[in-house]
Amino acid sequence: MSLTTDLSQTAARSTGKAKAKSGRPAGSPTEAQKPRRRTRQRRERIFQWLFLVPAVVYMALFFGYPVVKNVVMSFQDYTTATFFTGEAPWVGLANYVTVLSSSLFSTSLLNTALFTIGSILGQFVIGLALAIFFQRKFPLNGILRSLLLLPWLLPLIVSSAVWRWILDKDSGALNRFLGDLGIVDTGVPWLTSTSLALIAVVGVNIWIGIPFNLTILYGGLQEIPDELYEAGSLDGATGWKAFRHITWPMLRPVVSVVLVLGVVYTLKVLDIILGLTNGGPANSTQTIATQSYDLSFHEFKFGEGAALGNVLVIISLVFAVLYLRASRRAVDE
């Protein structure tokens, strides 16, 4: 769709809306005035578009181009040699075959799924519980609720560093706390054992995601009219019943948006995993995102890194479609 034809079409199809905008009564102009007005309207349209051009250019360069470039690179043998020779031979689907058939891929795919599902479940359930709790009226409610945002506002790499210290095997705060309570007697290797590292990373990601879920769900709960609860309580719907038959159905559009956004954000998480475990130990916290990073920036196989990145894009897009449907429904209702 080229911009110019689009503009000329709109100019040709100029309606009464533009007339109303031009601030004069929409009378019937004389025949002589019409062509002049048309050029003025076209000028107007172009002018209006100029406000949008920088943003469109930026989005094209920093989102459009990378996506296209990644598709192209994924069919090329793109390595450090390319930077010197300028050549990236076409290799067809070889990168995809290499990446998808490697034993590491199934590990990262499984880890990505576990990491995403675990994080979302934890964030959502705790976020919703807190949102419902904060519906109650008590002193300092607003201040406490906003202070809860802090984990979400901190740079992710800062959170990773702090948690790395808390989860330290020998002198971390968590092990000392558990040790003092007599729950464990030796240091638990939270980040250095293959069986625990993924659980620890999920735990940290849940901590980071709770504020976001709390805020959005709290907003959704506030939108539910009081009358419904009043009517419900007359029919004997209180507590759990009220939640099941009033809160949950009314909150559903917001819930679906939160869940899908959560999934999309969690799929691309990189900072936290790199900061806490760097994908280790023995790839036990390697996800598709971290593996794509490794392929490109440690092994300098940019073609394979791009191929794996595209797999991630496709998975995200599936959820993006769900998101758009959910948000549309949320608005319609």
Partner 1 sequence: MTTVLKAPTLRPTRSKATGRKNWGYTALAILFLAIMLFPVYWMVNASLQPNGTTLETSWLPLKPDFTGYATAINEQAGNLGTSLVISLGSVALSLAIAAPAAYALAYFKVRGAGVVLFAILISQMIPGIVVANALYTAYNDLGLLNSIPGLILADSAHGIPFAILIIRAFMNGMPASVIEAARVDGAGHVRAFWSIVIPLSRNSLITAGLFTFLFAWSDFLFALTLTTTEAVRPVTLGIFQYIGAYVNDWSSVMATAVLASIPAIVLLVAAQKYIAAGTTGGAVK
Query: Interface residues for partner 1 in 271-330 (CB under 8 A)?
Result: 271, 274-275, 278, 289, 292-293, 296-297, 302, 305-306, 309-310, 312-313, 316-317, 319-320, 323-324, 327-328, 330
Q: Determine which residue in the list 151, 232, 280, 281 makes contact with partner 1, applying CB under 8 A.
A: 151
Under rule CB under 8 A, residue 140 binds partner 1: yes
Q: Which two tokens stand for residue 28?
A: 């019937």
* Closer to partner 1 by Cβ: residue 32 or 105: 105
For residues 44 and 36, give the distance between their C-alpha atoms in angstroms, rounded to a whole number: 12
Of 299, 301, 302, 274, whose CA–CA distance to 286 is shortest? 274
Q: Determine which residue in the list 128, 188, 197, 261 makes contact with partner 1, applying CB under 8 A.
A: 261
- Least Å from the CB of residue 218 to partner 1: 7
* Closer to partner 1 by Cβ: residue 31 or 41: 41
Instruction: Using CB under 8 A, count the residues that bind partner 1.
Output: 109
* Closer to partner 1 by Cβ: residue 32 or 206: 206
Please, which of residues 219-248 interact with partner 1 by CB under 8 A? Answer: 219-220, 222, 226, 229
For residues 66 and 93, give the distance between their C-alpha atoms in angstroms, rounded to a whole number: 19
* Closer to partner 1 by Cβ: residue 190 or 218: 218
Q: Determine which residue in the list 128, 251, 258, 273 makes contact with partner 1, applying CB under 8 A.
A: 258
- Least Å from the CB of residue 198 to partner 1: 19
Q: Determine which residue in the list 120, 128, 197, 216 makes contact with partner 1, applying CB under 8 A.
A: 216
Token look-up 């675990």 returns 118
For residues 217 and 215, give the distance between their C-alpha atoms in angstroms, rounded to a whole number: 6
For residues 105 and 311, give the distance between their C-alpha atoms in angstroms, rounded to a whole number: 11
For residues 39 and 168, give the distance between their C-alpha atoms in angstroms, rounded to a whole number: 70
- Least Å from the CB of residue 241 to partner 1: 15
Q: Determine which residue in the list 94, 113, 166, 178 makes contact with partner 1, applying CB under 8 A.
A: 166
**For the chain, how many residues are written?**
333
CB contact at 8 A, 292 and 308 = yes
Task: Write the DSSP string, 109-138.
Answer: HHHHHHHHHHHHHHHHHHHHHHHHHTTS--
Of 266, 260, 263, whose CA–CA distance to 326 is shortest? 260
| Residue 73 Rama label (left phi>0; alpha psi -120 to 50; beta) | alpha
- Least Å from the CB of residue 330 to partner 1: 6
Please, which of residues 14-73 interact with partner 1 by CB under 8 A? Answer: 21, 23, 45, 47-49, 51-52, 54-56, 58-59, 62-67, 69-70, 73
* Closer to partner 1 by Cβ: residue 14 or 31: 14
Q: Determine which residue in the list 2, 5, 28, 171 makes contact with partner 1, applying CB under 8 A.
A: 171
For residues 94 and 68, give the distance between their C-alpha atoms in angstroms, rounded to a whole number: 18
* Closer to partner 1 by Cβ: residue 151 or 281: 151
* Closer to partner 1 by Cβ: residue 32 or 197: 197
Task: Write the DSSP string, 269-290.
Answer: --HHHHHHTTT-STTTT--HHH
Q: Is the peptide bond before 281 cis (omega within 30 degrees of 0)?
A: yes
